[in-house]
Chain A
Amino acid sequence: MTMPMAIESRAGIAEAARAGKVWIRAEKRVVSYAELQKRIGSIAALAASHGLAIGDRVVMATRDDCEAALLFSALVLNGLTAVNLEPDAGAERAGALIARAAPALVILDRDIAARWPLPAGTPLIEIVPAAAGGGLLGGLLKARAKEGLAAELDRLGEAVPPAVIPPETLAYILFTSGTTQQPKGVCISHRALFSHLATLSRVQGIGPQSAILNTLMLSHADGMIQGPVMAFHAQATLHRPLAFAINTIEQLLDSVYQLRITHMIAVPTMLALIVRLSRNQDDAFKGGDFQLMISCGAALEAALWEAVEAKFGINLINLYGLTETVAGGVFAGATLGTRVPGSIGRPVDCELRIIDAEGQDVPQGGEGELLIRGDLLMSGYFGDEALTREAIEADGWFHTGDIATLSSDGIYAICGRKKNIVIRGGLNIQPEEVAEVLALHPAVRDALAFGLPDVDWGERLVALVAADGVSEDELLRFCGEKIEPRKVPSRIVIAAELPKGRSGKIIIDAARALFEVAAEAGPSQPAVQRSAEREQADAEDRLLALAASHFRTDRARLTLASVPEDVIGWDSLAHMEFVIAIEQAFGVSLTPREVISIDSLGKALALVAPR
């Protein structure tokens, strides 16, 4: 089978460069295909000057997104193996990963280089942010003040990248969650990467006319591969207009319209926030260009799937995959004829199997571990034969660690997880890694971290530790210094001892129960919480009934999200009648300011029955 690989991608980039196309449009910088092409040449020159050969590893970490995209892409397209580390990684973890990767060259932001321990003798090039300064003068000064990588690349000029890159050459190594003693470096070959890019662009309909919106972190596969890499593969344009945050959601949605976005890549947490926090923007995707929303990174619940499609009138694809399968492999969505909310659909260009504990195929309808096989699969875990053999069978089947079922019409659905991993907002956290860090604290005797369900994040990470003479705050601070912020537990409960079985192993269920009892006094104690929830549901019911009678509409058509624009009978007089009615029903008195502030039924409920 022949497929477009790095060489063809380089030709495509050259073509797009000649056409003057934009590769990445970020908040403060626009990167053209010409710039990418130039960077491929200068990295070739850099490789020559450092004596790097195809397959040599280069560790990189930078907070500058455009720089990260340029560097990663140019390394891959030169046949060098990019080891892209998360800039937020703590010094210990980063040091362990770099030592493990044994790179031929390290390229880091200057401040990151100062923080991370580097193996002696490994050449380091620093990325130095261009001197600040605006206008013509600033530009001139900047040009003169180039330092570090930029200066070196300028000095070296450009060279010709290798004419042949063998398909089994590693394109990149991505360290996923794993403990410090056993980091899991997922090795993705050119074969896996480019065959999967072909699948992704075909299934998702991404081509030279596409405008992709992907604001996910570039140190993860969903951000980098479905972002800059997918863009250059398809000669499309990637947009990263702003960092995703609660207070930028409105702006992000407006930019979908403004930038004529055709494809948006998001994790379910983002989708949930967009559905909840967009305002007056249901037409955000109706600018005439939008084609597809791609949900990835974590399980997409059926209700959220339905809500996204209904609210914005768009099609959605739910992508299932792992870092080990580049990005995806299994797709579900209306455009593919597999729109089954809550499912992961059908595999494309790969095969699936469901097996039981004995390794036998489970009959259709039964539950078992999901196995995947195909060109998209990783080559193995870097430098860890045992771990690789454990994960990939001799005949090429990879154990995903997810529990799945297959329906009679060939649709797969995930129903559980075999491996111990917490997926918070689409990003994986290995609880053992966090527990390991907690155990490093001198006051901690024993630590256990695990996930709990969370409305906003899908899951959140919490920890139970056995310790004396230390506060939760102190432990949180300690974690913050050692690991990436997103991995710091949202709660740490301190107990005298962790519940252990006879063998000395921690009994997980008992630990969870202990955590819940100790976690919070007052309102979130389970029993109290349940009754408070019931009360809230009851209040909501009464309020909706009152609204229905005063706005002369059907109770079933109202929700807490209903706003005056959506309810025909909700004019200013009906508004006042409704206010008076809820004041009487709930025994409260609202100030004029509060009366005016009611712009949704949810707001009304918050005023009359605060949580």
Chain B
Amino acid sequence: MIGSQTILILSLWLAAAAVLGWIVPERWRMPVMTGCGMGLVGSLSPLSLGFLLLGTGASMMLVQRRAGPRATGLFVAAVATIYAVFLLRATALDGWGLPAAALPLGMAYYVLRLVHYALEADRGRLRAHGLQDVLAYQFFPAVLFVGPINRFDDFLRDLRRRRWDPELVSTGLGRVLAGAVKIVLIANYLLAEKLAPLAGLAPGTAGRLYADSVLMWANLYMQFSGYSDIAIGLGAIMGFRLPENFRWPFLARNIGDFWRRWHITLSSWCRDYVHMPALARWRSPLLATTASMLVLGLWHEASMHYLLWGVYHAMGLTIWRRFAALTAPAYARLGPAGQRGWNVLAGLLTIHFVMFSYPVVEAIETFARSG
């Protein structure tokens, strides 16, 4: 949970960015918003400010000197290593002997943006831009702490299209409100306070485990999609269209579909910068899927728990893909009604596969420890 003082600081900087970003003379608008982003990061985590400035500067230098794939690879490795060290400290894996310290605020998201920018620039896929544009992107206040992990080229397009648009601003205000309702009313009040006692089953029973899982995922979804709504809403208020992060994930028909609906900007990041390169190099879907789900898992937390969680999802994805290929002819023969029934069943199976990821991983861990 974020403390109330943090929320106050956050709100003040965000409000300043949103308002000043429209009322100062046009050529100062983006610099002022970038400044607010820097102030926001700096007042909550000077370490993050330093690191992000350094990372932005270094990535910009790579681009300007056309440093090539090798130097870009080094940059990515350096960013990943630093993130890994902080992550290990933050989640203090037993036996690593590192003093525990919280992950610098926003780091989980901006490292992904730094890597994204460096790789895309190296591939020559970005439209012409300058240092100011990159700073504006890396310090864009709306997405600093909870994502979405927006893309530079989209950001730049919106930056160049930015204009006062009352409709967009009012949509944004609506999104912020919707997000707040999800977090405060539904997650923190309804799910946590009102519904939690209803799961008043004896601990350790299968029923309790199931009820807990349902509540946990409902809460997780409401919280996280709520924060994404707020970020997307703030982005719109500031004149930017940010990518969606959730698209009705619990309506997914299979596990592959789920990952295209849940934390979309993270899974698409993993698809582009882990899965595709791994696939291109090893040409093995199994290895590529495992690599990308491991990265996706370990990004949350450097622990055995998330490592196993990543393997769990990689297995799920691989098995589903084989299964889908094998049953495709049978599915085609089912007819419309049969297919609908099949889809409902597949959807239920998918939700449960996702929900059981944590209990299953915990069970394995418990088993491993006891054994």
Report the bound CA distance from A572 to B273 in whole Å: 11
B280: contacting residue among A258, A260, A279, A576, CB under 8 A? A576
Closest approach, in angstroms, between the C-beta of A455 and any C-beta of chain B? 24
Q: If A280-B154, A597-B123 touch, does A258 touch B128 (CB 8 Å cutoff)?
A: no
Q: In the complex the two chains form, is A257's CB within 8 Å of B163's CB?
A: yes
Q: In the complex the two chains form, is B276's CB within 8 Å of A596's CB?
A: yes
Q: In the complex the two chains form, is B123's CB within 8 Å of A596's CB?
A: yes
The interface residues of chain B lying within 8 Å CB-to-CB of A247 are 128
B281: contacting residue among A255, A575, A592, CB under 8 A? A592
Interface string of A64-79 (1 = CB under 8 A from B): 0000000000000000
Q: In the complex the two chains form, is A255's CB within 8 Å of B160's CB?
A: yes
A7 within 8 A of B: no
Q: In the complex the two chains form, is B161's CB within 8 Å of A257's CB?
A: yes
Q: In the complex the two chains form, is B271's CB within 8 Å of A572's CB?
A: yes
Q: In the complex the two chains form, is A572's CB within 8 Å of B127's CB?
A: no
Q: If A279-B127, A280-B154 touch, does A592 touch B280 (CB 8 Å cutoff)?
A: yes
Q: In the complex the two chains form, is A280's CB within 8 Å of B153's CB?
A: yes
In A575-601, the 8 Å CB interface with B consists of 575-576, 579-580, 592-593, 595-597, 599
The interface residues of chain A lying within 8 Å CB-to-CB of B154 are 280
B276: contacting residue among A255, A257, A259, A575, CB under 8 A? A575
Q: In the complex the two chains form, is B285's CB within 8 Å of A259's CB?
A: no
The count of chain A contact residues (Cβ–Cβ below 8 Å) is 25
A205 within 8 A of B: no
B66 within 8 A of A: no
A573 within 8 A of B: yes
A596: contacting residue among B127, B277, B321, CB under 8 A? B277
The interface residues of chain B lying within 8 Å CB-to-CB of A416 are none
Report the bound CA distance from A592 to B276 in whole Å: 9
The interface residues of chain A lying within 8 Å CB-to-CB of B161 are 254-255, 257-258, 287
Report the bound CA distance from A599 to B124 in whole Å: 12
Interface string of B251-271 (1 = CB under 8 A from A): 000000000000000000001
Report the bound CA distance from A572 to B163 in whole Å: 36
B163: contacting residue among A251, A258, A575, A599, CB under 8 A? A258
The interface residues of chain B lying within 8 Å CB-to-CB of A595 are 276, 279-280
The interface residues of chain A lying within 8 Å CB-to-CB of B283 are 576, 580
Closest approach, in angstroms, between the C-beta of A607 and any C-beta of chain B? 12
A250 within 8 A of B: yes
Report the bound CA distance from A260 to B162 in whole Å: 10
Report the bound CA distance from A573 to B280 in whole Å: 10
A180 within 8 A of B: no
B69 within 8 A of A: yes
A592: contacting residue among B125, B162, B277, B285, CB under 8 A? B277
In B275-289, the 8 Å CB interface with A consists of 275-277, 279-281, 283, 285, 288
Q: In the complex the two chains form, is A281's CB within 8 Å of B157's CB?
A: yes
Report the bound CA distance from A595 to B127 in whole Å: 21
Closest to A255 in B: B160
A259: contacting residue among B125, B153, B163, B280, CB under 8 A? B163
Closest approach, in angstroms, between the C-beta of A279 and any C-beta of chain B? 7
The interface residues of chain A lying within 8 Å CB-to-CB of B162 are 258
Report the bound CA distance from A281 to B283 in whole Å: 32
The interface residues of chain B lying within 8 Å CB-to-CB of A575 are 276, 279
Q: In the complex the two chains form, is B157's CB within 8 Å of A254's CB?
A: yes
Closest approach, in angstroms, between the C-beta of A608 and any C-beta of chain B? 15
Q: In the complex the two chains form, is B279's CB within 8 Å of A599's CB?
A: no
Interface string of B201-241 (1 = CB under 8 A from A): 00000000000000000000000000000000000000000
Closest to A590 in B: B280
Closest approach, in angstroms, between the C-beta of B55 and any C-beta of chain A? 22
Q: In the complex the two chains form, is A596's CB within 8 Å of B280's CB?
A: yes
B279: contacting residue among A279, A281, A572, CB under 8 A? A572
The interface residues of chain B lying within 8 Å CB-to-CB of A254 are 157, 160-161
Closest to A259 in B: B163
Interface string of B78-110 (1 = CB under 8 A from A): 000000000000000000000000000000000
Closest approach, in angstroms, between the C-beta of B106 and any C-beta of chain A? 27
Closest approach, in angstroms, between the C-beta of A441 and any C-beta of chain B? 39
Q: In the complex the two chains form, is B69's CB within 8 Å of A593's CB?
A: yes
Report the bound CA distance from A257 to B168 in whole Å: 14
Closest approach, in angstroms, between the C-beta of B189 and any C-beta of chain A? 39
Most buried by A among B128, B157, B162, B283: B157
Closest to A580 in B: B283
Q: In the complex the two chains form, is A572's CB within 8 Å of B276's CB?
A: yes
Report the bound CA distance from A593 to B280 in whole Å: 8
Report the bound CA distance from A206 to B154 in whole Å: 32
Interface string of B146-171 (1 = CB under 8 A from A): 00000001100100111100000000
Closest to B285 in A: A573
The interface residues of chain B lying within 8 Å CB-to-CB of A251 are 127-128, 160
Closest approach, in angstroms, between the C-beta of A242 and any C-beta of chain B? 11
Report the bound CA distance from A243 to B280 in whole Å: 40
Report the bound CA distance from A572 to B270 in whole Å: 11
Most buried by B among A247, A250, A281, A592: A592
Closest approach, in angstroms, between the C-beta of B153 and any C-beta of chain A? 7
Q: In the complex the two chains form, is B279's CB within 8 Å of A250's CB?
A: no
Closest approach, in angstroms, between the C-beta of A118 and any C-beta of chain B? 40
Report the bound CA distance from A160 to B100 in whole Å: 80
Report the bound CA distance from A576 to B275 in whole Å: 11
The interface residues of chain A lying within 8 Å CB-to-CB of B279 are 572-573, 575-576, 595
Closest approach, in angstroms, between the C-beta of A11 and any C-beta of chain B? 31
The interface residues of chain B lying within 8 Å CB-to-CB of A579 are 280
Closest approach, in angstroms, between the C-beta of A336 and any C-beta of chain B? 30
Closest approach, in angstroms, between the C-beta of A540 and any C-beta of chain B? 23
Closest approach, in angstroms, between the C-beta of B367 and any C-beta of chain A? 33
Report the bound CA distance from A239 to B161 in whole Å: 14
Most buried by A among B127, B128, B154, B288: B127
Q: If A279-B127, A595-B280 touch, does A576 touch B285 (CB 8 Å cutoff)?
A: yes
The interface residues of chain B lying within 8 Å CB-to-CB of A573 are 279, 285, 321
Report the bound CA distance from A280 to B125 in whole Å: 12
The interface residues of chain B lying within 8 Å CB-to-CB of A592 are 277, 280-281
Closest approach, in angstroms, between the C-beta of B86 and any C-beta of chain A? 28
The interface residues of chain B lying within 8 Å CB-to-CB of A260 are 163
Q: In the complex the two chains form, is A250's CB within 8 Å of B276's CB?
A: no
Closest to B154 in A: A280
Cross-chain pairs A/B with CB under 8 angstroms, 11 sampled: A250-B127, A250-B128, A251-B127, A251-B128, A254-B157, A260-B163, A280-B157, A281-B157, A572-B279, A575-B276, A595-B276
Known: A251-B128, A257-B163, A599-B125. 4 other contacts (CB 8 A): A250-B127, A254-B160, A259-B163, A287-B163
- A-B pairs, top 10 by smallest CB distance, nearest first, are A254-B160, A595-B280, A592-B280, A257-B161, A592-B281, A258-B161, A250-B127, A254-B161, A258-B163, A576-B279
